A and B are shown apart, each in its own frame.
Chain A
Amino acid sequence: AQKVTQAQTEISVVEKEDVTLDCVYETRDTTYYLFWYKQPPSGELVFLIRRNSFDEQNEISGRYSWNFQKSTSSFNFTITASQVVDSAVYFCALSAADRGSTLGRLYFGRGTQLTVWP
């Protein structure tokens, strides 16, 4: 079975603080993909990153960085020097791709509401 856990329901920080959003996943597939999506107050879902199970390199994109560790089944997301515009709900998701899995299906965590105060 596939499962994604985002243990942090809500996080509040003050602008310019760094913040890390945790994501822990469960899968028996050897090939899978992990995603992060942002949902701002306007409601749409914005794709942030995709990472496949064979690529454990960390990635940095501006103030955003992602730490993928297969050993702990985690795919954490860090925002450096947070800004008010980062306030949103963030979802981590998993898509399994081994033979027999429901290909293309996304399994979402419950989301983390991040509030950045000025």
Chain B
Amino acid sequence: EAQVTQNPRYLITVTGKKLTVTCSQNMNHEYMSWYRQDPGLGLRQIYYSMNVEVTDKGDVPEGYKVSRKEKRNFPLILESPSPNQTSLYFCASSLSPTGVGEAFFGQGTRLTVV
């Protein structure tokens, strides 16, 4: 089954404690990205990757890091989480960076930073 898998689904952490949200896709997609969803703001792109070792900032990259060492994995790293990073996070992948195909989204990770 084609899917994007995020882990964990829910996470409560404390300010400053480094965390990683994993994302893996089994569709051999080149393009992957991370979004955060906040009430009234819709989804905003954090980082994206066009292929292995190619990453770039989206609209709201501050406080986040990503890496793309393998095609299937695209982890999101919060080195020192702060309460304003409390949000619902989505990982997405798509076959072609031209946007021809639909984007497949993970189930979401609800992060709370206290």
Known: A104-B48, A104-B97. A91 touches B43 (CB 8 A): yes
**What number of residue pairs across chains A and B have CB atoms under 8 A from each other?**
70
6 contacts between A and B (CB under 8 A): A44-B105, A96-B99, A97-B100, A103-B31, A103-B97, A103-B99
Is A33 close to B, CB under 8 A?
yes
Q: A43-B88, A104-B48 are in contact. Are A91 and B42 (CB under 8 A)?
A: yes
Q: Tell me, in angstroms, the Cα distance from A91 to B101 when the chains sit together.
A: 17
Query: Which chain A residue lies CB-closest to B94?
Result: A104
Number of interface residues of B (CB under 8 A): 30
A33/B58 in contact, CB under 8 A = no
Rounded to whole Å, the gap between the CB of B103 and the closest CB of chain A is: 6
Query: Distance (Å) between the CB of B111 and the closest chain A CB?
Result: 13
Contact A109 B42 (CB under 8 A): yes
Number of interface residues of A (CB under 8 A): 26
Residue of chain A at shortest CB distance from B88: A43
Give the residue among B33, B35, B105 with the most A Cβ atoms within 10 A: B105
Give the docked Cα–Cα distance between A102 and B100 (Å).
Answer: 13
Given known contacts A44-B105, A44-B107, A45-B105, A105 and B45 CB-to-CB distance under 8 angstroms: yes
B75 within 8 Å of A (CB atoms):
no
* Per-position binary interface string of chain A over residues 83-118, scored 1 when its CB falls under 8 Å from any chain B CB and 0 otherwise: 000000001010111000011111011110000000
> Are A47 and B97 in contact, CB atoms less than 8 angstroms apart?
no
Q: Which residue from chain A places its CB closest to the CB of B104 in the assembled complex?
A: A47
How distant is the Cα of A109 from the Cα of B40 in the complex, in angstroms?
10
- Within 8 Å of chain B (Cβ to Cβ): is A64? no
Least Cβ–Cβ distance between A98 and chain B, in angstroms = 10
Roughly how many angstroms separate A15 CA and B6 CA in the complex, as a whole number? 35
Closest Cβ of chain A: how far from B41's Cβ, in Å? 6
Q: A44-B108, A103-B50, A104-B50 are in contact. Are A97 and B98 (CB under 8 A)?
A: yes
